[in-house]
Structure 1
Amino acid sequence: MPVRDIKAGYLNLTAKVASNKLNRMTDAESSLERFFLFLLDNNPVVKHFYEQPVSIQYGKNLFAR
């Protein structure tokens, strides 16, 4: 599940993109990211993708980043 929550902002472009592979709407924070999501969704080699980074646990105290 994505870690970041995309919010519409005055200074940045945000967009919702329909994904057939994920069967849901995905979020993009830029026109480049929106285009990349389009490429991933329409590439037959790609089976699944996440639109935002996932949480990774690491270190002694298992910090999440």
Structure 2
Amino acid sequence: MFNDQIKQFEVSGMSYKHLTIKEREILMFLRAKGLSIRAVALRLGRNPSTISRELKRCAKGLAGDK
């Protein structure tokens, strides 16, 4: 769905694909509506582990804002 907007970086021969701002907004919206990580991943065309890592990053950032 949004794969054409993915930014791709090369680091030490490994390819990293980051979520776009739009994908992050959709991720948060769908999670707030109660969808599972797998359901969100399916809708975004991403691997569930990518979604899980993004949620962990977000939670880490919120915990550090105190």
Bigger relative contact order, structure 1 or 2 (CA pairs below 8 A, ≥6 apart): 1
- Is this a same-fold pair by TM over 0.5? no
Q: Computing the radius of gyration over CA atoms, which structure comes out larger, 1 or 2? A: 1
TM-score, scaled to structure 2:
0.29
